[in-house]
Structures are given as structure tokens and as C-alpha cells.
Amino acid sequence: RTYLFGAAGFAVASALGGFAPNEELLFAARALQGAFGALLAPASLALITVLFTDAKERAKAFAVYGAIAGGGSAVGLLLGGVLTEYADWRWCFWVNVPVAIIAIVAAIPVVPESRAPGETSYDIPGAVLITLGLASFVYGFTRVAEAAQTNADIGSTESGWTNGPALTFIAVGVLLVAAFVVLELRVRNPLLPMRLVLDRNRGGAFLTSTLVGAGLIGAFFFLSLYFQQVLAYTPVAAGLASLPTTLGVLISAGAASGLVPRVGPKPLMVLGGLLAAAGLFTMSFLDVDTSFWALAFPGQLLLGLGLGFTFVPLSNLALVGAGEHDAGAASALLNATQQVGASIGTALLATLSVGAITQAVTEAVAAGQDPTDPAVGLAAQVEGYTTAFTWASVLLVVGALVSAVLIKATKEDLPTGPEAIVHAG
């Protein structure tokens, strides 16, 4: 029911977004999409573990899910470009409606209800604390990026990290999240059972997920800007140029489904993180006139290969065997770590990118170049994008190191049969 309710709500929110007559209603529709998406994504992951209890079959299911999720980002860029260029931006919302309807109709006859037995209750105080805490924390990072851009626009070299309101929001977010942790340790039915996070393997998987989510934005956000603003690609061409990532995900996710039951999650997660980091680092050498086939294509292919090898075992490790009452929380936490990581990564990498652009312009002026020259501005932009790629690759290397150090699970530790079953909510 959680899955169906989330899908139906997402369809309604998408329709409202398409019909929105002003910015206020558009933002409200996006917020509704986020709320119903927060129900839909975790329920989808939990249902996979309900329906596929055999280790090999479950690995294949996670591979399909990972391929669709990873490839969907690139396909979304392409589809969004087509709709924007040849139809109307509102279709970027409306296209979700028939997809959601098909998902609902297809799920009703084949997906069983799954509910954990025993006492359940809603941790309202915990939900309020973590929502406000994460919102404040992420908004603080966003303000840092905005402050850095404002300083750059007025010719100041001051960092966005000196912005008082931004630091205040970050500090408040940290305090609220800390209060949430204290509360969860004391309440009888916590929103987030701390045993999920304190478990070494799952905790490592969630931390890796956060770092990967933060680093990936360096590819999808800044690479899209590079294609359109530097290479002057149309939205459709930029979407097509992003397809190598999808190709890599499809290849590696399929391979990972057969390898997880044989070698366990850890080797694949380390390999995947390093491959993805290598892809991003490859793109850090892009220049104003670099051929697409020279760096962008192999870099994206490596990135996609790394993503498939990372997310298939990561999902297995984070969700399988979580227990009847913890499955929904584990699924939600896995989704939340990716989303929060992406939000923080966007702000962090944007700040670093703006700083690099400002530095490049300053150096150009010192060398006697005209800062109003479009070529100078374009070169500075590329410097900012490649700086973001470099630091994004660092985040993924750190994620691989976290997997190597924290995760101890082997192939024998992934349960099969009845003990692997979890419940969706």
C-alpha cells in the first residue's frame, strides 16, 4: 500500500506541477513530488527483498533496479531535452503521470501486501526533528554556494564559508540531527532504529551511499553545464552525450548480479568506487575544445561501470536481512543518504567550482587579459567544472576507502531463504 500510495501521489503532484501557473505552486508541486517519492523509492527497494529471497535472484533484481535507476538519470536528461526543445517544459512533469499509472496497474495483481507483525507506532517527534535538521543542514550548504557566487559577481575573493547565516543554518541542522539521534535511542518505536546505523556493514553501506551521492552530482550537473555552455550542445544533444553513463551501468549491473553471490559485496563496492572515481578524474582534464570522444565518452563509460558495480552490492548489503520491523527504515535511509549526499554535494562542489572560476579570472587579469573577453570567461568556466570533477572523484575514492575499511561482510553473510525476507512497511 505504501508503494501504491506513493506512486499515485507522485502522479498527482506531477500533474499539478505541469499545470502550475506560477512559481509558488510549481515549488509546492515539487515538494509534493519529493514527499511521495520518499514513500515510493524505499517501498520499491523493500519489495524487492520480499519478492526475491534467493541470493542469486535477488542480486539480479537489484541489478535491474540499479540499471534502471542509474540509467534513468541519463535517459531523463535526454527525455527532458527532447520535451523542452520540441514540446513544452510542462511535459517534463506530465510525462510522469502515465508512467506512474502503468506502474500501479502492473503492481496490483503481482505485488503482495507485506506488513511486519506486532506493535507499530509513528515517531512524530523524530520525524519533525530529522526533517527540520536535514532541511536546515542542506539549506546552509546551499547558502554557502550562493554566497560564493555573490562574492564572485562583485569581484570579491572571499569564500562563501564566511557567510554567517549559512553557517548558522548548518550549525542548527547539526544540533537538530544530534537531538534526533538522542531521541531515537530513547523512544520505544523509533523512526530510525540506531541498530541499523551502528551495524558495521550497514553503517558502512549508508556512509558509502552518502559519499557516492555527493560525488555523482559532479558528473550529472557539471557535465550537463559543460555540454551546453561550453560545447554549445542543444538540450537534446546534451542528453545524447550523457548516454555513455547509462551504457556503463547496464554492463556492470548485469555483471554484478552474478558476482555478488560469488565474491560478496565488499570487493565490488571498492572496485566500483575506484572505477567511478577514475571516470570523473578523466573528465577533470576536459578543456574548451576537447573532443567528446577523447575524454567525455571514456570518462562517462568508466563512471557508469563504477556505478553498477557499487549500487548492486550496496543495496544488497543495506537491505537484506534487516528484519521485519527495520526493513522500511533501512530502505528509507538508503534513499535518504543518496538524496542528502546529492544535495550537500551540489552545494559543496558548486562552492569549489565558483572559487576556481574566480581564481582563473583573477589570474587572467594579472596576465594582462581582458576579463570581458568571452574566451577568458569560457576558459574560467571550464576550470570551475574540472575542479568540481576532481573533487567529486576524491569523494568517490573516500567512499571506496570506507567500503574497504568498514565493510567486513562476505558472500556467506548475505542470507537466503526465509531469514532474508523483510517487509515493506
Amino acid at site 407: I
Dihedral class, residue 113 (left if φ above 0, else alpha if ψ from -120 to 50, else beta)? beta
Alpha helices in 226-264 (DSSP H): 235-241, 243-263
In the structure grid, which three cell numbers stand for residue 276, read together? Answer: 567511478
DSSP assignment, residue 227?
I
What are the pLDDT tens digits along the chain (425 aa)?
788 999 999 999 999 999 999 989 998 998 899 888 878 877 777 777 777 777 677 777 877 777 777 667 667 777 888 888 888 889 999 999 999 999 999 988 877 766 655 556 678 899 899 889 988 998 898 888 888 888 877 777 677 888 899 999 999 999 999 999 999 999 988 888 898 888 899 999 999 999 999 998 777 889 999 999 999 998 889 889 989 998 999 899 889 988 988 899 999 999 999 999 999 999 999 999 999 999 999 999 999 999 999 998 998 888 877 766 677 788 888 888 988 898 889 888 988 998 899 889 889 989 999 988 999 999 999 999 999 999 999 999 999 999 999 999 887 776 554 444 444 33
Integer Cα distance of 315 and 338 in angstroms? 12
Highest CATH level, class, for 62-88+193-420: mainly alpha
DSSP notation for 279-314: HHHHHTT--TT--IIIIIHHHHHHHHHHHHHHHHHH
Cell of 235: 538540450
**pLDDT digit string (tens) for 162-188?**
889 999 999 999 999 999 999 999 998
Helix, strand, coil share of the chain (percent; to 5): 80, 0, 20
> CA angle 139-273-197, nearest 5°?
60
Kindly list the distances between the CA atom of residue 13 and the CA atoms of 34, 44, 94, 360, in Å, as whole numbers in the listed order. Answer: 9, 19, 10, 42
Domain boundaries defined on the chain: 62-88+193-420, 122-187
Q: How many CA atoms lie within 13 A of 90 on its CB side?
A: 10
**Rounded distance, CA 257 to CA 263, Å?**
11
Q: How many other CB atoms are there within 10 angstroms of residue 35's CB atom?
A: 14
End-to-end CA distance of the chain, in Å? 9
Tell me the per-residue pLDDT of 243-294, one tens digit each, with 9 for 90 and over. 999 899 989 988 998 898 889 999 999 999 999 999 999 999 999 999 999 9
Residue type, 362: T
Task: Give just the sign of the alpha carbon dihedral 199, 204, 207, 212.
Answer: negative
